[in-house]
Structure 1
């Protein structure tokens, strides 16, 4: 239908329907993934992954949404990050996208950073850290404790 001749108003409605359905699909996938994790059935699919491109994908995806809320979305990637690592790119992007989406949701006319740091490299093994930081309203200390209870059992 989007490829047919539509008025500007019709196109706007169709675009809203498309975006809403994509959002619902992401929510359903996240719920299914949480169920898999809780059941111990989540498996990772490791393959060569360009971490830099994965982070930049998330940045590019969320930049328009951040700008609509008056935010500046920054992307900082340490130079020493190798070009290719073994990782589950889909899960990595999913996690960073969820964190970035929440940062945008709770930040208005502020700053949001997606940062990728190399913590340690021993031969072909490396540890890295991804931070999503924002100037939003934050979460009070009591709720931070409860936030990850499901994942600490």
Structure 2
């Protein structure tokens, strides 16, 4: 049976690690079994000061190769400033709201315009690679931009 944690997520059964070891499986077991947006605590973004708007369903090293699986609710007027991730891919899926996702060329100067601008609306997914500068801008006046996103560890160059 999965056991509740103090961060609102659930551990897998303690028997899982024993089962994996006994079966000779080639892969390590997952470290988190389940999570709920209703119980996971919100946090601010890591790369800029914001209110608590991100809920991490998975965190780094809980499933091999995945850096995180998170839900973000961007209030109107909040911008995720241009930034890069040196060693991960990110995948975003828009659940509700509207916005723009801007992408610059790698090593672009601060003065350069974005190379691409993707219209964010429900059902749209966007992918960005390591070292690709990107920015997210909500467009709604009264509805937050709600997205599910996850990161994938980039292979060593």
TM range (shorter): under 0.3
Q: Which has the higher contact order (CA 8 A, sep 6+)?
A: 2
Q: TM-score, normalised by structure 2?
A: 0.22
Q: TM-score, normalised by structure 1?
A: 0.22
